Structure 1
Amino acid sequence: MYRRALAAFFLASLAALPAAAQVQRSFPADALRGTLVINDPPEATLNGRPARLAPGARIRTAENMMAMSASLVGARLLVHYTLDTLGLVKDVWILTPEEAAKRPWPTTPQQAQQWVFDPAAQVWSRP
């Protein structure tokens, strides 16, 4: 009887894990929003313009799992991204529908400099 109760508790705990794992992701203040298409890694298109992935670029799926750029070739992805000092795409987060719904979000560095970011709420506001 004790084993059955323990087994039932364990199975119920496992079933609850996916719901508990969906935590709000925190994006840095320099993360911009854009549309990314991986062409032939490290070559990509970002917002319709040629771009290049940085060596060691990190791509996170909507489930926050790491993804290899080759597995995303050809997909049109709505993302938040950061650039390194050379202008290469360094960090990429593929957005969930909830994250994509947060507006406004800057698409250019100029917008990010002019707008105000609340890192706790993960929202931008225009002055």
Structure 2
Amino acid sequence: MYRCVLQSSLGLALAASCLVAQAQTHRFFPANALRGELVVTQFPDVQLNGQAARLAPGARVKNENNLWVPPAGLMGQKLVVHYTIESSGLIQDVWVLNAAELANKPWPTTPAEAASWQFNPGNQTWSKP
């Protein structure tokens, strides 16, 4: 009886660790996600690529492990991120990049680049024309 419980617990732990490992190395980003450098100055105000910007009400910020974090907790840190902009021009979604995502280059930094490059959502890569 105890052996069965131990085996099933071990199996669940192994499956959970595989999911965590995948989350740390590979996330799927939308085609409209741009790469930039974000500094939270005084929530909801931020610096995005050295320019003043603002987080939208309800903006979602996820850390390297894809866990939600309060933006105010990131105050003053320079973070390389992927982000999306809502129709009003405010920043809607932010993903702090992990090492594997940082190595995925090239990634567009402007809407003009994203419009002229080709995106492959399956392997999360961009190619320039």
Task: Give the shorter-chain TM-score range.
Answer: over 0.9
Aligned length: 126
1:61 maps to 63
CA distance in 1, matches of 2:79, 2:7: 40
2:116 maps to 114
CA distance in 2, matches of 1:39, 1:15: 40
CA distance in 2, matches of 1:62, 1:18: 16
1:28 maps to 30
User: How far apart are residue 12 of structure 1 and its match?
Assistant: 4.8
- For normalisation by structure 2, the TM-score amounts to 0.91
What is the root-mean-square deviation of aligned Cα atoms in Å? 1.3
User: How far apart are residue 20 of structure 1 and its match?
Assistant: 2.3
Query: Structure 1, residues 11-57: CA drift from partner, whole Å, max 9, x if none?
Result: 35325412323242111110000000001100000001111000000
Moved more, 6-15 or 51-60: 6-15
CA distance in 1, matches of 2:99, 2:54: 26
- For normalisation by structure 1, the TM-score amounts to 0.92
Secondary structure of the residue aligned to 1:67 is coil
CA distance in 1, matches of 2:39, 2:94: 12
Report the residue type matching 1:7 in the other structure.
Answer: L
- Work out whether 1:96 is the aligned partner of 2:98: yes
User: How far apart are residue 73 of structure 1 and its match?
Assistant: 0.5
Report the residue type matching 1:112 in the other structure.
Answer: A
What stretches of structure 1 of length at least 5 have no aligned partner?
none
CA distance in 1, matches of 2:2, 2:106: 52
